[in-house]
Copies of this chain bind each other. A is one copy, B any other.
């Protein structure tokens, strides 16, 4: 998956804290939402719903996050989460994900992170994800 995957979000009241900006932990939610949205589309292309996938194969757990905060986001601002897989095996994926203020034409970096995910089965033991999951370039319609 050489391509970047873009997802738009808008900052909601519930994302902010009393310093007036997005609470730092909520950027992890934005990033997870972007990965999930992409994952959901990949499942759909293979004729599966997300719960069906979980039943058949397993799911991803976060093993580590290294996140840096550059600029704060504020209420009602639009942001873009740009995600790409930078490393992968059948049991693990490493993502680079960044959150930008604005859209792709006019953007400012707010936060970026490296996120490591492991694939596990229902018993939370390491498992192998299906070949089709990350073996081809991800060409999903945005």
Binding site of A, secondary structure by majority: helix, strand, loop or mixed? mixed
CA separation between A32 and B113, bound complex, in Å? 19
* A49-91 contact mask (Cβ, 8 Å, vs B): 1 or 0: 1110010000101111111110010111000000000000000
- CB atoms of B17 and A29 under 8 A apart: no
The answer, yes or no, to whether A16 is at the interface (CB within 8 Å) is: yes
How many copies of the polypeptide does the oligomer hold? 4
- CB atoms of A51 and B32 under 8 A apart: no
User: Please, which residues of chain B bring their CB within 8 A of the CB of A19?
Assistant: 13, 18, 59, 61, 124
- CB atoms of B18 and A32 under 8 A apart: no
The answer, yes or no, to whether A24 is at the interface (CB within 8 Å) is: yes
The answer, yes or no, to whether A2 is at the interface (CB within 8 Å) is: no
Which residues of A69-120 are within 8 A (CB) of B? 69, 72, 74-76
Residue contacts A-B, CB under 8 angstroms, 7 given = A13-B19, A13-B32, A14-B23, A14-B33, A17-B17, A24-B61, A63-B68
User: 10 tightest CB-CB pairs across the interface, nearest first?
Assistant: A50-B76, A16-B18, A25-B28, A24-B62, A66-B66, A64-B68, A25-B25, A14-B29, A18-B20, A13-B17
Give residues in A with beta carbon < 8 Å to B.
10, 12-14, 16-21, 23-26, 28-29, 32-33, 36-37, 40, 49-51, 54, 59, 61-69, 72, 74-76, 124
